[in-house]
Structures are given as structure tokens and as C-alpha cells.
Amino acid sequence: MAEPLVDLVGVEHRYRGRGVDVPALGPLDLRVEAGGFLVVVGPSGSGKSTLLRLVGGFERPTAGVVRVLGGTPVPGRDVGTVFQQPRLFPWLTVGGNLGAALRWAGVPRAARPGRTAELLAQVGLAGLEPRRTWEVSGGQRQRVAIARALAARPRLLLMDEPFAALDALTRERLQEDVRPLADGGRGVVFVTHSVDEAVFLADRVVVLSDRPGRVALDLPVPLPRSGVPADDLRGSAEFAALRGEVAAAVRAVAA
Ligand SMILES: Nc1ncnc2c1ncn2[C@@H]1O[C@H](COP(=O)(O)OP(=O)(O)OP(=O)(O)O)[C@@H](O)[C@H]1O
């Protein structure tokens, strides 16, 4: 069988130092296969961001093993990251921000304009290279951040509440565009507080318990990924049933 993209075995994490000892996460086991779209939901402080930091290689677990593509994750190598704030360089244009990411990814200078155009087209922003980052909307800035995360062609995308600051309509449009990013080779791990967003995006939803976060619910989401208009999907009885199941688990862990 092919190697999982992400494999967490017996993972625990505590934050320690100067009188602080916070058990933040685990123990938990979790796998994401290639093409998987895992959405993690849970109460505030249940360790969702910690989980992403461990998978991205930004933290080492206190116990257990985190493997990405069979090895210890190295920040910035196999993993692209999108945060709640786009964190673009304000002194560079949209194209300049992507050019910087491509340079960082080792793409030769001559190839960068072509790849920049490709990345912008992929996130629905074709031709926006010359714009300043403050001349585009919040949703467009987040699209640039997604394009930047895709610059190094990562096998795995980590997204930490990327749409939390956007208005409802922009958020839905972005969800529709992000859903196909998990394809044959690539997987996504996405953190959100929104149950609707989780059910719409995921092929699997994990609900974490209160701190230290453990798996309270691990629910496959067998909704069609293509061929059904997004609004029909959101309005379907299957969607409502799954949303009800996730919402009940979220309420139970918060109680
Ligand atoms: N660097 C740190 N040092 C000490 N404690 C930390 C540190 N980072 C996070 N924590 C604590 O670990 C726990 C988990 O934090 P984490 O940010 O992973 O939760 P979260 O589920 O992402 O929360 P939220 O939904 O509010 O973003 C929290 O109690 C938090 O206060």
C-alpha cells in the first residue's frame, strides 16, 4: 500500500518552560492519505494549531512519532502553510510576493514569471501580478497566500482557519475553490471552528476533545466531490445529517 502522507502514532505534546507545563495535545493517532482532505474541529485551546505545527515540523512532539511522507517533517520542504492572516510582504506587488516564494523554492529566475502566472490562474487571480497587496480585497489577498503556499508544489497543505476573517459569501467561494486542491498526489489538513465549512470541505472530519486534544469523533464525509453544484450540496439532506453529527460532537466536547 502507498505510504500515507501524514502518519501520527501515539503523539502527545506539552508546552514546558519556566513554571509552565501545558498538556496541549494527545495522545492521538491520525493518518492522512494522498488525496485526503482532513478537517480538524475542536474547542478553543484543544490543540488544533499545535497539531498543524507538529505536522509542519515547526514543533517536535513530546511523545510519539510524526511522519510526513515517511520521514520527519522539515519546515518548508514538503508542506505549504496558509494562516488566518495572509502575511504578504506589503512592499511587494502580488507578483513580487509569488516571485519571492518561487525564489525561496529554488525556481530559476527565468521560470518565475511563467510559474507566477500559472499560480495566479490556479487561484482565480489571472493577471493580478502588478497590483499592490493593499489594492486587492481580503479574499483576494488570501487567494495570493494560497498561491504562495502552492509555489513549491507541496504534497501537503496545512491551513489554519484561513477564511475566519472573511465575509460569508467570500468564504463560501473560497471553500469551493479550495476543495479541489486535495487531488491524487496532494493532501490537505484544514483547521476551522465552522461546522458547515468542515462538512463542505472534508472527506473526513476529526473533532478534538477539550485540552489536551484527543480524537473525540473521526467521521468520514462521503459527499460527492464533483458534479454537484456547491449550493445543492450545502442544501442536501446528506449534508444536513453530517452537519448535525459533527455539531453534536462539538457540543458534547464543549459541555
Ligand atoms: N508556545 C506555547 N506555550 C505555552 N502554551 C501554549 C503555547 N502554544 C499554545 N499553548 C497552549 O496549548 C493549548 C493548545 O493551543 P492551540 O493553539 O494548539 O489550540 P487551538 O485549538 O488551535 O486554539 P484556538 O482554537 O483558540 O486557535 C492552549 O491551552 C494554549 O494556551
Provide ipTM, 2 decimals.
0.97
Cα of 215 from ligand 1 centre, angstroms: 16
- The boundaries of every CATH 3.40.50.300 domain in the chain are 6-78+154-254
Q: Please report how the helices 138-150 and 94-104 are oriented relative to each other, as an axis angle in degrees rounded to 10.
A: 20
Across the chain, the runs of DSSP E, i.e. the strands, are 6-17, 20-32, 37-41, 63-68, 79-82, 156-160, 187-191, 204-208, 215-220
Please give the share of the chain, as a percent, with pLDDT higher than 70.
100
Could you give phi then psi for residue 117, rounded to 5 degrees? Answer: -60, -40
Which of these, 228, 208, 244, 247, lies nearest to 26 by C-alpha position? 208
Cβ of residue 211 lying under 6 Å from some atom of ligand 1: yes
For residue 103, give the H/E element and its range: helix 94-104
Cα of 146 from ligand 1 centre, angstroms: 24
Q: Give the model's pLDDT for residue 76.
A: 75
Q: Give the model's pLDDT for residue 184.
A: 76
Q: Give the model's pLDDT for residue 185.
A: 85
Instruction: Read off the amino acid at residue 74.
Output: V
Cβ of residue 93 lying under 6 Å from some atom of ligand 1: no
Would you write out the chain's pLDDT as a tens digit for each of its 255 residues? 578 999 999 999 999 988 889 999 999 999 999 999 999 999 999 999 999 999 999 999 999 999 999 999 988 778 999 999 999 999 999 999 999 999 999 999 999 999 999 999 999 999 999 999 999 999 999 999 999 999 999 999 999 999 998 999 999 999 999 999 998 789 999 999 999 999 999 999 999 999 999 999 999 999 998 889 999 999 999 999 999 999 999 999 988
Measuring from atom 24 of ligand 1, which residue has the nearest CA?
44
What SS3 state is found at 56?
helix
DSSP string covering 132-199: BGGGS-HHHHHHHHHHHHHTT--SEEEEESTTTTS-HHHHHHHHHHHGGGS-SS-EEEEE-S-HHHHH
* Residue 69: burial class (beta carbons within 10 Å; 0-12, 13-18, 19+): middle
Cα of 251 from ligand 1 centre, angstroms: 20
CATH architecture for residues 6-78+154-254: 3-Layer(aba) Sandwich (3.40)
